[in-house]
Amino acid sequence: MFIRLQLHFITLGLELLTFKLNHMSFFVRKLGIDLGTANTLVFVPGKGVVLFEPSVVAISEQDNKILAVGVEAKNMIGKTPDSIIAYRPMKDGVIADYRVTEAMLRYFIDKALGKWNIFKPEVMVSVPAGVTSTERRAVVEAAIRAGAKNAYVVKEPILAAIGAGIPIYEPMGHMIVDIGGGTTDVAVISLGGIVASTSVKCAGNKIDAAIADYIKKTFNLAIGDKTSEQIKITIGSAVPMEEELSVVIKGRDFLTGLPRSTEIKTNEIVKAISKELKDMVKAIKDVLQETPPELSADIIDNGITMTGGSSQLRNLTELVFRRIGVKAVVAKDPLYCVAKGTGIALEHLDTYKKSIIAKR
């Protein structure tokens, strides 16, 4: 009886050990972070995108204390008293304010992993294609100080391509255009590496600013960032439309200083953002001019894949086709492509180690 009981306990112990070994991977947490100018997305392998919040931080000027991060802070933009500033610590895809970015990253990592997590995660962060070594190092340092065990940095076009389901290791040319809030990254990828690329500081935020500027000059009306973004989403288009959409906008009259509303139509927005779209198309042309002829032939066959939130602008693919003559398609879930790419790359670190450009 005693020997049987001992054997039972040994069996139980072995089962417990097997269970622990099988679930050890649970303790080695991995996080993919799409650290954008406008939004930050956090991807957990096996779970998907667990967090999608604006890259905004609200700070109290009196005691230099962080009051809110993410959605809560974005709701404060343009509505705060003088003692509180709500702003974006990321500018043009890179860190503009190191201390605040670190605090923001810590908040996002803690929120994604949960309050009781005691294990430091391995983190992969996306950076623009044109990032300098100093800017890259700043991202790695910020991630480590925010609570990461290891930090990897990968260029956005590579991650966007992985997330969009492009087989990047094939000996074939694929062109990816990632249009976010701060930067437009254009790259031709073949055999797991970037053959030609450029990164221009012209994307969603510049389009919003152009809309606000046009309304100011045309209607003598002052509007905020949130309103101009809403106009872009509701009625914006890259090419003129026969059946125009319209929206009523509300703001402050420059002459009287009083609130006023007016109506604006799609084709006026097309005119307002034409310069910004021209810069984006020029970036695509510049990369195509640097591309070897064999890969150019592949791009004609495969087309251009567009990712990022701003790639969802109406008729943008049509504008690219008209100006460049190559078919463009928007990837499935363009907003999530970079975040998905970080998750896939983290799960298969050995496969994608060639593409990882910084580690600590």
Which has the higher per-residue pLDDT, 151 or 13? 151
Task: Report if residue 9 sits inside a domain.
Answer: no
Give yes or no for residue 288 having a pLDDT over 80.
Answer: yes
Task: Report if residue 68 sits inside a domain.
Answer: no
**Residue 179 pLDDT grade (very low, low, confident, very high; cuts 50, 70, 90):** very high
Task: Report the CATH number at residue 103.
Answer: 3.30.420.40
Same-domain pairing of 299 and 265 = no
* Rounded Cα–Cα distance for residues 135 and 283 (Å): 22
* Rounded Cα–Cα distance for residues 249 and 262 (Å): 5
Which has the higher per-residue pLDDT, 131 or 206? 206
Give yes or no for residue 83 having a pLDDT over 90.
Answer: no
- Chain-centroid distance, C-alpha 94: 11
Same-domain pairing of 197 and 323 = yes
Task: Report if residue 58 sits inside a domain.
Answer: no
Task: Report if residue 133 sits inside a domain.
Answer: yes
Structural contact between residues 150 and 123, judged by C-beta atoms closer than 8 angstroms: yes
For 202-229, b where at least 16 C-beta lie within 10 A, e where not — what string?
bbbbbbbebbbebbeeebebebebebbb
Task: Report if residue 176 sits inside a domain.
Answer: yes
Q: Of 243, 274, 305, which one is at a domain's C-terminal end?
A: 274
Task: Report the CATH number at residue 223.
Answer: 3.90.640.10
Mean pLDDT on 208-229: 94
**Residue 24 pLDDT grade (very low, low, confident, very high; cuts 50, 70, 90):** very low
Give yes or no for residue 184 having a pLDDT over 90.
Answer: yes
- Supply the pLDDT for residue 116: 67
Give yes or no for residue 6 having a pLDDT over 60.
Answer: no
Structurally, the chain folds into a number of domains equal to: 3
**Residue 129 pLDDT grade (very low, low, confident, very high; cuts 50, 70, 90):** confident
Structural contact between residues 296 and 265, judged by C-beta atoms closer than 8 angstroms: no
Mean pLDDT on 152-172: 91
Most confident of 54-68, 124-138, 293-307: 293-307
Q: Of 259, 274, 289, which one is at a domain's C-terminal end?
A: 274
User: What distances in angstroms separate CA 70 from CA 73, 101, 187, 309, one per listed residue?
Assistant: 5, 12, 30, 17
pLDDT digits (tens, 9 = 90+) for 25-38: 344 588 999 988 88
Give yes or no for residue 131 having a pLDDT over 70.
Answer: yes
The boundaries of the domain holding residue 178 are 166-202+277-334
Same-domain pairing of 228 and 212 = yes
Same-domain pairing of 48 and 133 = yes
Task: Report if residue 63 sits inside a domain.
Answer: no
Q: Of 274, 295, 324, which one is at a domain's C-terminal end?
A: 274
State the DSSP code for 243.
Answer: S
Task: Record the pTM.
Answer: 0.84
Same-domain pairing of 256 and 191 = no
Same-domain pairing of 106 and 140 = yes
pLDDT digits (tens, 9 = 90+) for 306-338: 999 999 999 999 999 999 999 999 999 999 999
What is the secondary structure of 56-121 as a DSSP string?
A: -EEEETTTTEEEEETHHHHTTTT---TTEEEE-SEETTEES-HHHHHHHHHHHHHHHH-TT--SPP
- Supply the pLDDT for residue 9: 45
Phi, psi of 17 (to 5 degrees): -65, -45
Same-domain pairing of 309 and 216 = no
Pairing mode, if any, of strands 65-69 and 90-91? unpaired
- Supply the pLDDT for residue 25: 39
Q: What percent of the chain has pLDDT over 90?
A: 53
Same-domain pairing of 329 and 244 = no
Which strand ranges, in their side-by-side order, compose the sheet holding 39-44? 48-54, 39-44, 30-35, 122-127, 150-155, 358-359
**Residue 76 pLDDT grade (very low, low, confident, very high; cuts 50, 70, 90):** confident
- Supply the pLDDT for residue 325: 94
Structural contact between residues 85 and 58, judged by C-beta atoms closer than 8 angstroms: yes
Same-domain pairing of 182 and 301 = yes
Task: Report if residue 258 sits inside a domain.
Answer: yes
Which has the higher per-residue pLDDT, 178 or 6? 178
Task: Report if residue 132 sits inside a domain.
Answer: yes
Same-domain pairing of 222 and 261 = yes
